[in-house]
């Protein structure tokens, strides 16, 4: 100790303490050395700094099966039809267009061409902002309906339903493609084919549907008293084919035509107002359509 006398009692205590032997359990293990011992370096490994967490993208929520529902969950590739002829996609924002193309597949359109159309559509920067009603579906047109299941069963045409499920504010669209006993069969672009009962569907569907029909089915404007022209003549011919209106189509919307329209609306369980608008037009079309038109088939697709 600097500045301490050799006979300082504190100095002697430090020297004695440094000569004491440690207990065997506290000694370091012996290190074997060769003839020429070299000092052993002690390396202390420092833990690397923790990396900054990278945000992990959350997958699109998919419908959760319940006892009221079963999901086939067949493998599928986005932009391609699966084994059940359902066009698959990977995000909710694409389910509307994919479901519409699934329904067109039921109409007999070439599936490969529909897949090409899907890819071309989503190559546009503004694809998700487009209104499907305004798209060119030639030779068909698209009609938006506010309906219920009774009306859809009466219509008996495949359609696209707007669904809200799993507390998501963004809708998921699915094609209603058939009825299997007491269950409805949906073509869901996210998970494939789904079978669910009406209770389950009514908890997530609030009546909005999209239906395809031939272009001359829907008049450009609702037809009522004093309307005239080819659209009125076609309307009268269809009412006559259903034995609701008698006489030769005149092309003039008179009182007898209005009464026939009301009778058809009441029979079809749609709004009874005597006006032949889009809803009346598509129900007339469905009532007279031939075997080339797809239906909500009874039994599994």
Q: What is the pLDDT of residues 281-290, one digit of tens each?
A: 999 999 999 8
The pLDDT mean for the chain works out to 81
The token pair at 215 is 């272009």
pTM for this prediction:
0.74
| Predicted pLDDT at 17 | 40
Peptide bond before residue 261 is cis, with ω within 30 degrees of 0: no
Question: Cα–Cα distance between 106 and 186 in angstroms, integer?
Answer: 13
180 part of a folded domain = yes
Tens digit of pLDDT for each residue in 179-192? 887 899 999 999 99
In a domain, 178, yes or no: yes
176 within some domain: yes
In the block, residue with structure tokens 């590739």: 77
pLDDT at residue 133 in the model: 75
Is residue 245 scored above 50 in pLDDT?
yes
Averaged pLDDT for residues 102-122: 94
Position 49 scores a pLDDT of 55
- Beta-carbon contacts of residue 68 (< 8 Å; ≥ 6 apart): 196, 197, 199, 200
Would you state the pLDDT for residue 67?
A: 59
Number of residues that make up the chain: 301
Q: What is the pLDDT of residues 148-168, one digit of tens each?
A: 998 999 899 999 999 998 788
More confident position, 1 or 62? 62
Categorize the per-residue pLDDT at 258 as very low, low, confident or very high, splitting at 50, 70 and 90: very high
* pLDDT computed for residue 128 by the predictor: 72
pLDDT computed for residue 13 by the predictor: 44
Q: Assign 204 a pLDDT band (cuts: 50, 70, 90).
A: very high
Question: Which CATH number characterizes residue 193's domain?
Answer: 3.90.70.10
pLDDT at 215 over 90: no
Those residues whose C-beta lies under 8 Å from the C-beta of residue 140, and which sit 6 or more positions away, are 104, 107, 212, 213, 214, 215
Determine which of 13-27, 88-102, 213-227, 243-257 has the lowest per-residue pLDDT on average. Answer: 13-27
Tens digits of residue pLDDT in 2-25: 444 445 444 444 343 444 444 444
Cβ pair 128, 93 in contact under 8 A: yes
Residue 183: inside a domain: yes
What does the pLDDT read at residue 192?
Answer: 94
**Parallel, antiparallel or unpaired: strands 172-180 and 297-298:** parallel
Question: Which residue range is the domain that position 94 belongs to?
Answer: 69-217
Query: Total domain count for the chain?
Result: 1
Alpha carbon distance 77, 244 (integer Å): 49
Q: For every residue of the chain, which 3-state class applies, written as one string?
A: CCCCCCCCHHHHHHHHHHHCCCCHHHCCCCCCCCCCCCCCCCCCCCCCCCCCCCCCCCCCCCCCCCCCEEECCCCCCCCCECCCCCECCCCHHHHHHHHHHHHHHHCCCCHHHHHHHHHHHCCCCCHHHCCHHHCCCCCEEEEEEECCHHHHHHHCCCEEEEECCCCCCCCEEEEEEEEECCEEEEEECCCEEEEEEHHHHHCCEEEEEEEEEEHHHCCCCCECCCCECHHHHHHHHHHHHCCCCCCCCCCECCHHHHHHHHHHHHHHCCCCCCCECHHHHHHHHHHHCCCCCCCCEECCC
Query: Does residue 187 lie within any of the structural domains?
Result: yes
What is the residue whose two structure tokens read 């293990």?
A: 29
297: in domain? no
Residue owning tokens 């669904």: 163
pLDDT at site 223: 96
Q: Is the pLDDT of residue 45 over 90?
A: no
Q: Is residue 154 situated within a structural domain?
A: yes
Task: Please indicate, yes or no, if residue 186 is contained in any of the structural domains.
Answer: yes
Q: What is the pLDDT of residue 200?
A: 92
pLDDT score at 25: 43
pLDDT value at residue 65: 57
| Choice among 90-104, 131-145, 254-268 with the minimum mean pLDDT | 131-145
How far apart are alpha carbons 161 and 281 in whole angstroms?
A: 20
């Amino acid at each position: 100790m600097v500045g301490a006398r050799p006979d300082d009692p504190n100095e002697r205590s430090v020297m004695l303490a440094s000569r004491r032997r440690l207990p065997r359990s506290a000694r370091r293990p012996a290190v074997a050395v060769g003839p020429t011992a070299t000092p052993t370096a002690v390396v202390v490994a420092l833990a690397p700094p923790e990396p900054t967490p990278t945000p992990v993208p959350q997958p699109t929520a998919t419908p959760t099966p319940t006892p009221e529902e079963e999901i086939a969950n067949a493998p599928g590739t986005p932009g391609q039809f699966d084994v059940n002829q359902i066009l698959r996609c990977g995000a909710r924002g694409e389910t509307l267009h994919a479901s519409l193309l699934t329904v067109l597949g039921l109409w007999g359109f070439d599936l490969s061409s529909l897949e090409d159309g899907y890819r071309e559509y989503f190559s546009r920067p503004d694809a998700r902002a487009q209104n499907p009603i305004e798209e060119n579906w030639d030779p068909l047109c698209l009609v938006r309906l506010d309906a219920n299941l009774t009306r859809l069963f009466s219509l008996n045409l495949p359609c696209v339903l707007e669904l809200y499920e799993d507390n998501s504010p963004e809708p998921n669209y699915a094609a209603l493609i058939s009825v299997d006993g007491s269950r409805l069969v949906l073509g869901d672009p996210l998970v494939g084919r789904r079978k669910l009962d009406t209770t389950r569907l009514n908890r997530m569907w609030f009546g909005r549907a999209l239906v395809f029909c031939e272009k001359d089915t829907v008049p450009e404007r609702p037809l009522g008293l004093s309307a005239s022209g080819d659209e009125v003549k076609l309307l009268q011919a269809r009412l006559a084919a259903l034995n609701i209106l008698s006489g030769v189509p005149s092309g003039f919307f008179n009182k007898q035509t209005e009464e026939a329209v009301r009778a058809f609306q009441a029979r079809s369980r749609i709004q009874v107002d005597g006006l032949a608008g889009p809803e009346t037009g598509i129900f007339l079309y469905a009532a007279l359509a031939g075997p080339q038109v797809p239906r909500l088939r009874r039994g599994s697709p």
